[in-house]
Amino acid sequence: MHFHPKAGPAAALCLALSLVATGPALGQDAGNAGQQGQGERPAGQVKTPNQQMLPQVNRTDEPQQVTATSVMKDAKGKPLGTVAFAETPNGVLVQARLENVPPGQHGFHVHEAGKCDPPDFKTAGGHFNPGGKAHGYLNPRGPHAGDLPILFVGEDGKGAIDVVAPGLSLRPGANSLLPSGSRSLVLHEGIDDYVSDPAGNSGGRIACGIIEVPMAGNAGTQPPKPGGK
């Protein structure tokens, strides 16, 4: 994917500082750690904006307390994996571990409503956007608070994201993902171009998960590996 021709250095810098790659994956050892950009690419393929612009800044290598989770399910109700959320000084750490997803690159966003009615998941509403901004990291009027990086899925159907979303919070306020059950995550069938309203031309909604606070006995635990294994 190429950058939008109107996106200048300022927009690129904004993207670089907004998307933060982290260290070893939750629920996996270092040898099996999922990384942003998981899934092999053919030799010579041009790197995407995520891979070009995810600097190792504001790293969050220390264990994080999980304060919210979301189980992503497809249109048939099949669980695809878990997404964990934890408050950090720089925003909300979002860690996704998914499997059995169509290979490719998929738009991935937080939506305004805590509903995931299949098969089209339209009850999730639009993107979570309390600031009234435009969509996309490369949009000079963006991004939405709920905009997240593209999910890369390999030929094995597995994908992972580790990112700090500075526009999100788990504390009370306009940008909060809480109370439990009030927001959702949506996975799209196609790539997000990071600039087009309302969802980056990323196509239909193929999976959805309601963001919920785990039971008190599970607070601070790591999310299960994809598929609950």
- 8 Å CB contact between 155 and 45: no
- Give a yes or no: residue 13 inside a domain: yes
| Residue 9: both structure tokens together | 């250095």
Cβ-count burial 57-82 (b if 16+ within 10 Å, e if not): eeebeeebebbbbbbbbbeeeebbbb
- Give a yes or no: residue 194 inside a domain: yes
- Give a yes or no: residue 48 inside a domain: no
pLDDT-based confidence at residue 214 (cuts at 50, 70, 90):
confident
pLDDT tens, 151-209? 999 999 999 999 999 999 998 899 999 899 999 999 999 999 888 888 878 989 999 99
pLDDT given at position 215: 53
- Give a yes or no: residue 149 inside a domain: yes
pLDDT tens, 125-153? 999 999 899 998 888 888 999 999 999 99
pLDDT tens, 85-116? 999 999 999 999 999 999 999 999 999 999 99
CATH code for the domain in which residue 110 is found: 2.60.40.200
Characterise 26 by phi-psi region: left (phi > 0), alpha (psi -120 to 50), beta (else).
Answer: beta
Expressed as residue numbers, the domain containing 127 is 9-25+34-39+64-218
- Give a yes or no: residue 44 inside a domain: no
Q: How many domains does the chain have?
A: 1
pLDDT given at position 66: 55
- Give a yes or no: residue 89 inside a domain: yes
- Give a yes or no: residue 59 inside a domain: no
Contacts 24+ apart (CB under 8 A), 224-227: 224/27, 224/82, 225/27, 225/28, 225/97, 226/80, 226/81, 226/82, 226/97, 226/98, 226/99, 226/158, 227/79, 227/81, 227/99, 227/100
pLDDT given at position 140: 87
- Give a yes or no: residue 145 inside a domain: yes
**Bridge partner residues of 211 (DSSP):** 183
